[in-house]
Amino acid sequence: MIHISNLQEGLPLFKALSSDIRLEILNLLAEYKQLNMNDIAEKLKLTNGAITMHIKKLEDCGLIKISTLTAKHGIQKICYLHEDKFIIDIGEQEIPNSYEVELGIGHYTSYEISPTCGLATKDALIGEVDNPSYFAAPERIDCDILWFTKGFVEYKIPNYLKPGQEFSEIQISMEISSEAPGNCSIWPSDIFFSLNGTYLGSWTSPGDYGESRGLLTPAWWIPAWNQYGLLKLLSINKFGTFIDGLKISDITLDELNLNHKSDLNFRLSVPDNAEHIGGLTIFGKNFGNYNQGLSIRVIYDNIGENN
């Protein structure tokens, strides 16, 4: 996967994709897996010289690789796709008096869950599905997807504030969905959020999405399972608690009584008293549609500046 963090950095890729011929070359390699330069020229009815120029541009930006093969009739250059996915993050303006951290979804500090459930890294399942014992496995720290029907996972958010600073807003971005047996796009689930044991509010996930493969979901992942979620932004500030800008409760930062010494224990749960118990899936960097785990931004005020 190619990850472009700013538009200037992506210029070689954008230029490479601006040619219809180069797009046709990529389509051919996606279909045939690998072709030599003569085959590509023949299929596109172009000269070898013209193909060489287009191939070089695709190689320079990392989309294809070329290997040299010695054959009976001389040396052949074999072309194949090197990357078939890329993500562009245009980036956000830096916010003063803030810090950002990202927690892998396997970095939970506490859990209590009921099947269906499971975890996986980008390469393989961790243990057995529907066996909660594997949520304690040491390799869970590297997991990139986890799911369960009922219960919770809890994460400790680092508190980097110093004396003389106070919380102004806490933002938590995450890709989440319901958890249906297999998958089902209409499978509502009430997902609850809390901080330090205080209930912040809930959001109802519409379903568990599997009609198309997630942009980052690895090829080995079973097609009938969850493929991607929805990117949600939870915000807690002096006005209340919000999901994607819509207020879900009147709980404010003042009510949480946080300071520079406070623990920040963030919990996602599907409790027994939820109206819709449809489970929870959390997607990490190598699954779903977004290249992130739990992405957290803490905005703070310097108290002296307000006096």
Q: What is the pLDDT of residues 23-65, one digit of tens each?
A: 999 999 988 888 998 899 999 999 988 999 999 999 988 889 8
The answer to whether the beta carbons of residues 252 and 208 sit under 8 Å apart is: no
Among 134, 153, 119, 295, which residue's Cα sits nearest to residue 221? 119
- Exposed (0-12), middle (13-18) or buried (19+): which is 195, by Cβ within 10 Å? buried
DSSP 54: H
Centre a 10 Å sphere on the Cβ of residue 138 and count the other Cβ atoms it contains. Answer: 7
CATH code, domain with 154: 2.60.120
DSSP 292: -
Q: Assign 138 to helix, strand or coil.
A: helix
Q: What is the mean pLDDT of the chain?
A: 91
| Domain extent at residue 198 | 92-306
Structure tokens at 266: 């963030």
Q: Are 102 and 188 in the same domain? A: yes
Among 253, 246, 244, 260, which residue's Cα sits nearest to residue 172? 244
d(CA 211, CA 90): 28
Q: Are 274 and 135 in the same domain? A: yes
Q: Quick one: pLDDT band at residue 72, thresholds 50, 70, 90? A: low
* pLDDT top residue among 233 and 73: 233
pLDDT at 15: 86
Name every residue whose Cβ is closer than 8 Å to that of residue 60 and which is 6 or more positions away in sequence: 12, 16
End-of-domain residue from the set 36, 68, 86: 86
Q: Are 163 and 247 in the same domain? A: yes
Structure tokens at 106: 């396997």
CATH code, domain with 25: 1.10.10.10
d(CA 59, CA 49): 15
pTM, to two decimals: 0.75
Q: Are 80 and 135 in the same domain? A: no
Q: What percent of the chain has pLDDT over 90?
A: 74
Count: domains in the chain: 2
Q: What's the one-letter identity of residue 222?
A: I
Q: Are 138 and 208 in the same domain? A: yes
Q: Assign 95 to helix, strand or coil.
A: coil
Q: Quick one: pLDDT band at residue 303, thresholds 50, 70, 90? A: confident
pLDDT in tens, 1-23: 566 666 666 788 888 888 999 99
Among 225, 240, 160, 158, which residue's Cα sits nearest to residue 193? 240
Whether omega for the bond prior to residue 70 falls within 30 degrees of 0, making it cis, is no
* pLDDT top residue among 57 and 135: 135
Q: Quick one: pLDDT band at residue 271, thresholds 50, 70, 90? A: very high
End-of-domain residue from the set 38, 66, 86: 86
Structure tokens at 66: 């070329």
Instruction: Write down the H helix ranges in the chain.
Output: 11-16, 20-32, 37-44, 48-60, 253-256
In this predicted structure, which of 60-74, 170-184, 292-306 has the lowest mean pLDDT?
60-74
Q: Are 98 and 27 in the same domain? A: no
pLDDT at 240: 96
d(CA 240, CA 191): 18
Half-sphere exposure for 301 (CA within 13 Å, toward CB)? 13
